[in-house]
Amino acid sequence: MAKHLKQPARGTSGASIKRPPVVAILGHIDHGKSTLLDYIRKTNIVDEEAGGITQRISAYEVERQKEGSADGKAEKITFIDTPGHEAFSGMRERGATTADIAILVVSAEDGVKPQTIDAYKEIEKAKVPFVVAINKIDKPAANVEKTKISLAEAGIYVEGFGGNISFVPISAKTGAGVDELLDIIILTADIADLKGEPEKPAEGAVIEAHRDPKKGISATLVIKNGSMGPGMFVASGTAFSPVRILENSVGKKIAEATFSSPVRLVGWNKAPSVGSVFSTFASKKDLEEYLETAAEMEKKPRAAIAPKAGGTNDAEPDATEKKIVP
């Protein structure tokens, strides 16, 4: 019988507190996903350095001042830049779905396309709440009502059209409706009552891996729970790295990071599998115990059960090329 990997320990778990949502944007390739992400990033990016963003990674944080907020505090949202629903599916199949909320982008010109339906099916399988963004309302041929009919014909019933799925007409080009979309994301997150435990060791998913001739091997991680900082070690399968060089979503070096944060960790012994989960360890001894079991599991046939990483999800060592997954 395969033994489970040791759950890392880092002090007491502490109380759960509210955490920001992690959001994936899905839809047809030509319906404006990238344009929407770029608009949100440029107008709401957290901690942008003078001179602009020089090292964009595949996930980033934004801040949104919620309309009518009593305390005046800005809400954080982490977006994952994914190339398509295939990546979302791959992540879900590994049991490491990172997204808490999804945005399904549909063109007000073209309506529902096969990729739209595929993306919707993946969202349904992942069982995450989602919002429909009816994009390109600035175009002469845009027809929001016709698009809602197209959605209904595909079994996607928005509010006021036979269902309760929230939708927002937007223009990712001009920014019309984007603020309302962000407000709905925040409201959806509030309803989901997302919680995190900052005192626990970080766990989450690897969404990108990259080999740089100068820096070495880096990986983009999204932390779903817990925190990581100096003196700790991160591992995914048999790939591992000390927490020494940690960068935020705009390439700025940081000392530590906590839940819902996208980070780039530099210094891996080899590229971790994109789409796999990672765990964080407080000591080298705990890391070595983990790696010993991970190595044993890696030798087993692919059909065998993969080692547990983080106590809840399966990590399966795989390809090491650069990819992005939500």
Best CATH choice for the domain 203-314 from the list 2.40.30.10, 3.30.420.10, 2.60.40.10, 1.10.10.10:
2.40.30.10
Q: Taking residues 221-247, what's their average pLDDT?
A: 96
**Beta carbons within 8 Å of 206's beta carbon, 6+ residues apart:** 219, 220, 221, 236, 272, 273, 274, 275, 276, 277, 278
| 42-53 mean pLDDT | 51
Strand partners, 119: none
Residue 77 pLDDT class (50, 70, 90 cuts): very high
**Encoding tokens for residue 97?**
């779905």
Mean pLDDT computed over 263-290: 95
pLDDT at 324: 35
Is it the case that residue 318 has pLDDT exceeding 80?
Answer: no
Q: Where in the chain is the domain with CATH 3.40.50.300?
A: 20-193
Report the pLDDT averaged over residues 254-258: 96
Q: What is the mean pLDDT of the chain?
A: 82
pLDDT at 120: 93
For the segment 126-135, what is each residue's pLDDT rounded down to a tens digit?
899 999 999 9
Say if residue 74's pLDDT is above 70.
Answer: yes
Assign 3-class secondary structure to the chain: CCCCCCCCCCCCCCCCEECCCEEEEEECCCCCHHHHHHHHHHHHECCCCCCCCCCCCCEEEEEEECCCCCCCCEEEEEEECCCCHHHHHHHHHCCCCCCCEEEEEEECCCECCHHHHHHHHHHHHHCCCEEEEEECCCCCCCCHHHHHHHHHHCCCCEECCCECECEEECCCCCCCCHHHHHHHHHHHHHHHCCEECCCCECEEEEEEEEEECCCEEEEEEEEEECEECCCCEEEECCEEEECCEEECCCCCEECCEECCCEEEEECCCCCCCCCCEEEEECCHHHHHHHHHHHHHHHHCCCCCCCCEECCCEECCCCCCCCCCCC
* pLDDT value at residue 189: 96
CATH architecture of 20-193: 3-Layer(aba) Sandwich (3.40)
Question: Crossing angle, helix 178-192 and helix 33-44, to 10 degrees?
Answer: 90
Is pLDDT at 316 greater than 80 in this prediction? no
Structure confidence at residue 98 (pLDDT): 82
What count of other Cβ atoms lies within 10 Å of the Cβ of residue 187?
Answer: 14
User: What percentage of the chain reaches a pLDDT higher than 70?
Assistant: 76
Which residues have a Cβ under 8 Å from the Cβ of 201 and sit 6 or more positions away?
8, 9, 10, 226, 227, 228, 232, 279, 280, 281, 282
- CATH 2.40.30.10 boundaries in the chain: 203-314
pTM of the predicted model as reported, rounded to 2 decimal places:
0.81
- Residues 20-47 have pLDDT tens digits of 999 988 888 888 888 998 899 887 655 4
* pLDDT greater than 60 at residue 305: no
- Position with higher pLDDT, 58 vs 189: 189
HSE (side-chain half, CA atoms, 13 Å) at 53: 21
Distance CA 190, CA 14 (A): 21
Q: What is the pLDDT of residue 306?
A: 46
Does residue 232 surpass a pLDDT of 80? yes
Token pair 């990729």 is at which residue? 115
Residue 244 scores a pLDDT above 80 = yes
- Which pLDDT band holds residue 88 (cuts at 50, 70, 90)? low
Reported confidence tier of residue 310, pLDDT bands at 50, 70, 90: very low
Q: In terms of pLDDT, which residue wins out, 246 or 13?
A: 246
Q: If you average pLDDT over residues 87-100, what whole number do you get? A: 65
